[in-house]
Amino acid sequence: MATIRINEDITEIDGKARVERGPAKRTGKATAKLLANDKTAAHYQLGHRDAAGEVIEADKTMTYLDWLNPKGFYVYSRVEPTEDLPEGSWLEDSFHPEEAAAMTRATQIAGG
* 2-14: average pLDDT: 96
Convert the pLDDT of each residue in 46-100 to its tens digit: 999 999 999 999 999 999 999 999 999 999 999 988 888 888 899 999 999 999 9
Strand-pairing partners, residue 79, are 89
Question: What is the chain's mean pLDDT, rounded?
Answer: 94
- C-alpha to C-alpha distance for 64 and 24, rounded to whole angstroms: 8
pLDDT score at 33: 93
Shared domain check, 83 and 101: yes
What is the value of pTM for the model shown? 0.83
Q: Is the pLDDT of residue 45 over 80?
A: yes
- C-alpha to C-alpha distance for 34 and 112, rounded to whole angstroms: 41
**Owning domain of residue 52:** 24-69
Shared domain check, 29 and 41: yes
With contact defined as beta carbons under 8 Å apart, do 94 and 104 qualify?
A: no
- C-alpha to C-alpha distance for 103 and 40, rounded to whole angstroms: 29
**Dihedral class, residue 34 (left if φ above 0, else alpha if ψ from -120 to 50, else beta):** alpha
pLDDT score at 80: 85
Q: Is the pLDDT of residue 8 over 70?
A: yes
Shared domain check, 19 and 33: no
Residue 94: C-alpha distances to residues 22, 27, 99 (Å): 12, 16, 12
Q: Which percentage of the chain shows pLDDT scores above 90? A: 81
Shared domain check, 59 and 75: no
Query: Which residues 6+ apart lie within 8 Å of 27 measured at CB?
Result: 61, 62, 63, 64
Q: Is the pLDDT of residue 112 over 70?
A: no
- C-alpha to C-alpha distance for 45 and 32, rounded to whole angstroms: 9
- How many domains, in total, are found in the chain? 2
